[in-house]
A and B are shown apart, each in its own frame.
Chain A
Amino acid sequence: MLELVIDGQAVRAEEGATILGVARDAGIYIPTLCHHDALSPSGACRLCIVEIYPQGSKLPSMTTACNFPVKEEMEVRTSSQKVLEARRLRARVLLAKGPESRAIQEIAAELGVETTPFTLETDKTCIRCSLCVRVCREAIGADALKLITRSEGAEPHVEVSPNNCIGCGSCSLLCPTGFIKMEEAGGQRIIWDTAFEMKRCSHCSSYTTSEAHWKYIEEKTGTSSEFGTVRDMCPVCRRDAVSAELLDLPEHFTTSLFTSDFD
């Protein structure tokens, strides 16, 4: 256990905890964009910037709260004028890169930033937050994405190894800017320019997820026999199959027996 001060409030923290984690536990809000509680921190978006005074020092420095470990007797300021200015500048930059991003818009609005002096990128762009890379590597375990710098001085970009990708779509849904497009048509899911065959509901013929993702799911959960007859159904048909069983409906019930007029 160590002690430090955040915004004038004395707090106790575990060794190795980050400023962000400790501040949150103390009820102090710090904005984040590239941080995800299930993934390692990256320090890429720099929205979580704070001012720190190391033990006994009057000389402050700026750091990202999401990946900076707390130190004994450190003093942290999360909303000083300097901090807010730095965050607003980051928000303006991000707003230019992802003007359509709801996540960026929300954070910018919180900071009172409505416009940006920088040139707007009209297309959905990558802000190199690396959420996609981290989720694929650390959580899914497919490790299909990498941030690569092609040549010196060039901006890094995300590259996909199609052989590793299972088409789960996690990266696309986590991406704050909408840069990672996922489309579904004709029984295929297309993501990162790669087409994946999709699993089809045995009952209503709608498509659910990619076959490769389904395989991953079955491998993780063990024997497929446990699924019984609902294995090849979509979630909606599974719900109805369960209802049919509860009501002792004939085995070959039809989904049309069930109606839900509210969605």
Chain B
Amino acid sequence: MAKYNFLFEVDRCVYCHACEIACMQENELPSHPWTRVVQAGPRYKGKILALDFLQQRCVHCEDPFCVRVCPVDGAIERNEDGIVLLYHNLCILCQACVNVCPYGALEFNPDKNIIGKCNFCLDRLREGHKPSCVHTCMGRALEVLGEEELELRVAGKKAKKAGLITYLLNTISRECDHH
């Protein structure tokens, strides 16, 4: 059972980018936040006009490619809570992880000369706080939940899971005729 389950609710995201700013503040990044939001659409799904916002970031895989490829022992590891951590003091900047990650979740940050990746603000989590992006989220699209709370939230709804993140998918849509 995962201790931390992350929920992203597509309908709630308002595309304000507050999570990106929060990430940059928390991790002292002048650029290249470790999470991003994208806009998909507006587009037609048949007669339905859809516009979705989605957050992209490391999903913290169960068997991460980055851990497998890293040439330095312990530079990237998956901890007991399933959070995949990169230790900057051990990183040699070879970018094997950047190139291997199927989620495209790692990035070289030229301003800081580091490889960046979401660590779910582990320090904050350990102190009982929410990750910075979750705390800041304007639309309350992001949450950290226990296993049972998560089940309640997704019950009967359309959801998809990747790593530690559950995506609650859109339910709001409107038919549109002028096509």
**B27 interface residue per 8 A CB criterion:** no
**A17 interface residue per 8 A CB criterion:** no
Of B41, B72, B99, the contact of A38 (CB 8 Å cutoff): B72
Pair A169/B38 contact, Cβ less than 8 Å: no
Known: A260-B37, A262-B20. A246 touches B54 (CB 8 A): yes
Known: A222-B68, A242-B56, A243-B40. A208 touches B94 (CB 8 A): no
Which of B78-86, B105-113, B120-128, B141-149 faces chain A? B105-113
Pair B71/A139 contact, Cβ less than 8 Å: yes
Interface size on B, as a range, is: 35 or more
Known: A221-B65, A246-B160. A36 touches B103 (CB 8 A): no
Of A217, A230, A242, the contact of B96 (CB 8 Å cutoff): A217
Known: A235-B104, A239-B56. A246 touches B162 (CB 8 A): yes
**A135 interface residue per 8 A CB criterion:** yes
**B69 interface residue per 8 A CB criterion:** yes
Pair B40/A242 contact, Cβ less than 8 Å: no
Q: How far is the CA of A257 from the CA of B37 in the complex (A)?
A: 13
Distance from B89 Cβ to chain A, minimum over Cβ atoms (Å): 4
**A249 interface residue per 8 A CB criterion:** yes
Q: Which of B39, B41, B72 has the most CB of A within 10 A?
A: B72
Pair A139/B107 contact, Cβ less than 8 Å: no
**A173 interface residue per 8 A CB criterion:** yes
Within B130-145, which residues are at the interface with A (CB < 8 Å)? none
Q: Given the complex, which residues of A lie within 8 Å of B160, measured CB to CB?
A: 246
Of A173, A247, A260, the contact of B113 (CB 8 Å cutoff): A173
Q: Given the complex, which residues of A lie within 8 Å of B37, measured CB to CB?
A: 260
Within A122-142, which residues are at the interface with B (CB < 8 Å)? 135, 139-141
**A48 interface residue per 8 A CB criterion:** no
**B9 interface residue per 8 A CB criterion:** no
Q: Given the complex, which residues of B lie within 8 Å of A258, measured CB to CB?
A: 38-40
Q: How far is the CA of A216 from the CA of B65 in the complex (A)?
A: 13
Pair B95/A214 contact, Cβ less than 8 Å: no
Q: How far is the CA of A240 from the CA of B69 in the complex (A)?
A: 22
Q: How far is the CA of A141 from the CA of B73 in the complex (A)?
A: 13
**A22 interface residue per 8 A CB criterion:** no
**B90 interface residue per 8 A CB criterion:** yes
Q: Is the interface of A mostly helix, strand, loop or mixed?
A: helix
**B169 interface residue per 8 A CB criterion:** yes
Distance from B107 Cβ to chain A, minimum over Cβ atoms (Å): 7
Q: Given the complex, which residues of B lie within 8 Å of A228, measured CB to CB?
A: 102
Q: Given the complex, which residues of B lie within 8 Å of A77, measured CB to CB?
A: none
Q: How far is the CA of A220 from the CA of B65 in the complex (A)?
A: 10
Who on chain A is nearest to B55 by CB? Answer: A243
**B47 interface residue per 8 A CB criterion:** no
Of A174, A213, A249, the contact of B93 (CB 8 Å cutoff): A174
Pair B40/A168 contact, Cβ less than 8 Å: no
Q: Given the complex, which residues of B lie within 8 Å of A221, measured CB to CB?
A: 65, 68-69, 100
Show 29 residue pairs from A and B whose CB-CB distance is below 8 angstroms, ordered by the A residue: A140-B92, A168-B94, A168-B96, A170-B92, A170-B95, A173-B108, A174-B93, A199-B99, A213-B95, A214-B99, A220-B68, A221-B68, A221-B100, A222-B68, A234-B104, A235-B99, A235-B101, A235-B107, A238-B102, A239-B56, A239-B105, A242-B103, A243-B38, A246-B162, A247-B40, A258-B40, A260-B36, A261-B39, A262-B17
Q: Mark B residues whose CB is within 8 Å of A.
A: 10, 17, 20, 31, 36-41, 43, 52, 54, 56, 65, 68-69, 71-72, 75, 89-96, 98-108, 113, 160, 162, 167, 169-170
